[in-house]
Amino acid sequence: MTRFSQWKLSMKLTVLVAVSLAGSLVFGLLAYGTLDTLKVNGPLYAQIVSGKDLIADVLPPPAYVIESYLLVHEMQEASDPAELSTLIETGRRLRQEYDARHDHWARELSDGSLRRAMVERSYDPALRFFEIRDKEFIPAVQAKDIAKATQLLHGPIKASYAEHRRAIDEVVELTAESNLAHEANAAHVIQRKTWMLFMVAFLMAALNISLAVAITRNLTRRISLGVEAAKQVAGGDLSGVINVDGDDETGALLSAIKSMTQSLSSLISRVKESSVALMSTATQISATSKDQESTVKGFSASTAEIAAAAKQISATSQELLRTMTEVRSVAATSASLAESGTAGLGEMDVTMQQLSSSTGSISAKLSVIREKANDINLVVTTITKVADQTNLLSVNAAIEAEKAGEYGLGFLVVAREIRRLADQSAVATLDIEQMVRLMQGAVSAGVMEMDKFTEEVRRGVKSVAQISSQLAQIIEQVQGLSGRIDLVNEGMRSQSNGASQISQAMTQLTDGARQTAASLREFNSATGSLREAVGGLKQEISCFTVAQ
């Protein structure tokens, strides 16, 4: 087996083809020998046919009625009834055999002249022969009617037999002909098949050899390609290009090598890039750490300043605390002032309310006066009417007195007096009217003034209420202020505390900065060793060639 696995692939394939060719040659020779032994007119065929010929030669043929014909003659000459019955029995058996063979050939033979001769032309006279024998001849023989039997034997029986014999001869002739034709056909078929066998064998051999050659060439070419590529990769050259043609196992192998090369190539190029980036990063880190070192130094100075500032804040907030206490006392004073102001406003409000009610009563009284003036007006009107009537009366009285002539003279004087009185009363009523009108005007003006005054009082009450509420707000806010001042105080105190805490924290921070500077120095040395390591990596990778 070790020897076999050390063989080359082309050698293995050649051996395989040679073995299969030899096998097929042996198979073909065996098949030819078998054919030659078993062919028609061959030795085996000749033996079988001679056996059959022997049986046909010695056996009386059941499909040919010659034996029955012989038996009829024997029946005619038989004298003993026992011998006759045996003969009759034999005749019946022969007829059954004939019928069986006839049925057999009626089934077996195909349509054609042979079937017509055998099944129709030979069967009809045979049937007639058997019918005459069984129904006429045998009763005649049994009845010892020799004359009739002889007459039948030489008459219809002989004729039927002769006809049957002719048909059988024809059958024999036809069968011999067809046998000859079958034999010739078989020989021809065998000759042709043999030739075809040789042809197929030759073709198969040629195809085998050419296929083996093609497969060998294909396989070895691809594998040598893969081997070449692998050798390149081993040597560090990753820039080679591999052509993959085909999906079979060797193709898969090639494509696997190709993808392997590609991924290796990309990996190497990425490693190269990364090492460059790593180098620059290391440089940056070292620069940054130097920066940080200087920053830390500045940082510690700043923390010292901050600590001083925090101390100042603490002092300032304590001062502020004192100021806030003063503010608080001032606010309390202003709150008490506002409260006393509210009380004063309350008194003022009460006074205003009283004023409002008194103006209301004055208004009511003024309206009473107006009503009275109206009453006076009514009276004046009445007086005016009376004066008018009086005047009219005086005029009419004067007229009547004039008409009465001398008798009316005295009456005329009376009438004149009446008129004078009426005129005076009219003047007086005019004066009263004037005065009442003046009074009414004054009352109206007073009412208007009172209304205005009431309005103003109402407004005053409203503004007092407003001021009062504003004062209440002020008080509230001042009281709230005191709470807020407490809050501010609290805040100040906590600020002062916070400032001292900040100062402490700053001291701690300075210590921390010092420590940070030390650790940065360590970090710097670490960065130097990182750079050295990256340089080594770069050198290692530079032995790989990568396609650009």
Partner 1 sequence: MLVVIFRVSDARYAIPCERIIEVIPLVVLRAEPRAPAWVLGSFVYRGALTPVLDLCQLMGGYPCPKRLSSRVILTDCTLPDGSSIRAGLLAEHVTEARRLNATPLSGASLGSTPYLGPVVQEGGNLLQIVHADRVLLGSEAALAELFSHRSLTAGETDRTATQP
Size of the chain in residues: 548
**CB 257, CB 228: distance < 8 Å:** no
State yes or no: residue 414 binds partner 1 (CB under 8 A): no
Residues 6+ apart with CB under 8 A from 233: 240, 257, 260, 261, 264
CA nearest neighbour of 318 among 507, 491, 505: 491
State yes or no: residue 380 binds partner 1 (CB under 8 A): no
CB of 449 to partner 1, least distance (A): 36
CB of 421 to partner 1, least distance (A): 13
Both tokens of 238, joined, read 């990753």
Segment interacting with partner 1, rule: CB under 8 A, options 115-123, 152-160, 317-325, 388-396: 388-396
Question: What span, in angstroms and rounded, lies between the C-alpha atoms of 160 and 72?
Answer: 13
Question: What span, in angstroms and rounded, lies between the C-alpha atoms of 1 and 279?
Answer: 56
State yes or no: residue 384 binds partner 1 (CB under 8 A): yes
Segment interacting with partner 1, rule: CB under 8 A, options 34-42, 161-169, 349-357, 396-404: 396-404
Residues 6+ apart with CB under 8 A from 452: none
Question: What span, in angstroms and rounded, lies between the C-alpha atoms of 106 and 176?
Answer: 19
Phi, psi of 65 (to 5 degrees): -85, 20
Q: Which of 180, 211, 399, 518 binds partner 1 (CB under 8 A)?
A: 399
**CB 75, CB 145: distance < 8 Å:** no
CB of 400 to partner 1, least distance (A): 9
Question: What span, in angstroms and rounded, lies between the C-alpha atoms of 96 and 199?
Answer: 55
3-state secondary structure of 404: coil
Closest to partner 1 by CB, 277 vs 399, is: 399
Q: Which of 104, 385, 452, 484 binds partner 1 (CB under 8 A)?
A: 385
Q: Which of 244, 419, 506, 520 binds partner 1 (CB under 8 A)?
A: 419
Q: Which of 63, 271, 395, 418 binds partner 1 (CB under 8 A)?
A: 395
Both tokens of 405, joined, read 């002539």
State yes or no: residue 417 binds partner 1 (CB under 8 A): no
Closest to partner 1 by CB, 305 vs 402, is: 402
Closest to partner 1 by CB, 414 vs 485, is: 414
State yes or no: residue 392 binds partner 1 (CB under 8 A): yes
Which amino acid would we find at residue 30? L
The DSSP result for 334-370, as a single string, is: HHHHHHHHHHHHHHHHHHHHHHHHHHHHHHHHHHHHH
3-state secondary structure of 453: helix
State yes or no: residue 388 binds partner 1 (CB under 8 A): yes
Q: Which of 75, 118, 307, 398 binds partner 1 (CB under 8 A)?
A: 398
CB of 379 to partner 1, least distance (A): 16
CB of 411 to partner 1, least distance (A): 12
State yes or no: residue 403 binds partner 1 (CB under 8 A): yes
Site residues for partner 1 per CB under 8 A: 384-385, 388, 391-392, 394-396, 398-399, 402-403, 412, 415, 419, 423
